[in-house]
C-alpha cells in the first residue's frame, strides 16, 4: 500500500489529483490518501479528509512507500521509520502555501539523498512509477544528536563549545 498525506493545514489538490489520476491507470499499488481540507474528491484511491496522528503513524508504518507534501513532520516521521519517501513541495505562487519553504526543504533533502522529489505534477507520475525502486532509508533517531543539543545549549547559554570537546554524533539506527 502507498500512503499519501498532505498534512492538515491547507489543501493540496495538485498532489491528490495527480496521484488519483495515476492510480486510475495502475492496478498493482493500492493507495490510501489523507487529503486534508479540499473540495477534490478522488475517484481511484481510498481516502479520508483527516485521520488521527496515531492512525497516520500506523498507516505510514504499514505502507511500502510514502508520498507527501514536503512538510517537516511527515519527512521526519518517514525517515524515523526508514520508509521510502517521495515528496512534492507546495508552491506559494499557486496559492498552496504562504511561502516556498517546502520547495527549499525538498531541495535540501534531495541534495542529502534522503528523499525522492517530484518538483511538479508533470514529474510526479514517473516518480510514482519508480516507487518500487526506492530503497528503504537508514532510520534516523527520534531525537536530535547529542552534539547538536550540546551546541544549542552552549549557544543559548552564551558559551562556545570547542570543536575537540563536542560529543561525537550518533549514527542513525538502521532499518529492520
pTM for this entry? 0.82
Closest CA to 3 of 64, 53, 51: 64
Tell me which CATH code domain 2-133 carries.
3.40.50.2000
- Helix-helix angle 101-111:72-81, to 10 degrees: 30
CA 153 to chain centre: 28
CA distance 140 to 101: 22
Q: What is the pLDDT of residue 28?
A: 78
Q: How far apart are CA 96 and CA 64, in angstroms?
A: 27
Residues of the chain with CATH 3.40.50.2000: 2-133
Tens of pLDDT along the chain (176 residues)? 999 999 888 899 999 999 999 999 986 789 999 999 988 899 999 999 999 999 999 999 999 999 999 999 999 999 999 999 999 999 999 888 999 999 999 999 999 988 999 999 999 999 999 998 887 777 888 888 888 888 889 889 988 765 555 555 555 555 54
Residue 51 corresponds to which cell in the numbers above? 485521520
Q: Which three cell numbers stand for residue 8?
A: 492538515
Q: Cα(69)–Cα(5) distance, rounded to whole angstroms? A: 7
State the cell numbers at 137.
532509508
Amino acid at each position: 500500500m502507498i500512503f499519501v498525506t498532505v498534512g492538515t493545514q491547507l489543501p493540496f489538490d495538485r498532489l491528490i489529483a495527480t496521484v488519483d489520476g495515476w492510480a486510475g491507470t495502475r492496478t498493482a499499488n493500492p493507495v490510501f490518501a489523507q487529503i486534508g481540507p479540499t473540495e477534490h474528491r478522488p475517484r481511484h484511491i481510498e481516502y479520508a479528509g483527516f485521520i488521527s496522528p496515531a492512525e497516520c503513524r500506523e498507516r505510514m508504518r504499514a505502507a511500502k512507500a510514502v508520498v507527501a507534501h514536503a512538510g517537516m513532520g511527515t519527512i521526519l516521521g518517514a525517515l524515523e521509520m526508514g520508509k521510502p519517501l517521495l515528496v512534492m513541495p507546495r508552491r506559494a505562487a499557486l496559492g498552496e502555501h504562504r511561502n516556498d519553504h517546502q520547495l527549499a526543504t525538498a531541495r535540501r533533502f534531495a541534495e542529502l539523498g534522503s528523499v525522492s522529489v517530484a518538483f511538479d505534477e508533470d514529474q510526479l507520475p514517473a516518480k510514482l512509477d519508480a516507487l518500487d525502486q526506492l530503497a528503504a532509508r537508514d532510520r534516523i533517531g527520534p531525537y536530535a544528536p547529542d552534539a547538536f543539543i550540546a551546541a544549542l545549549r552552549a549557544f543559548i547559554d552564551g558559551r562556545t563549545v570547542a570543536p575537540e570537546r563536542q560529543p561525537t554524533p550518533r549514527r542513525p539506527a538502521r532499518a529492520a
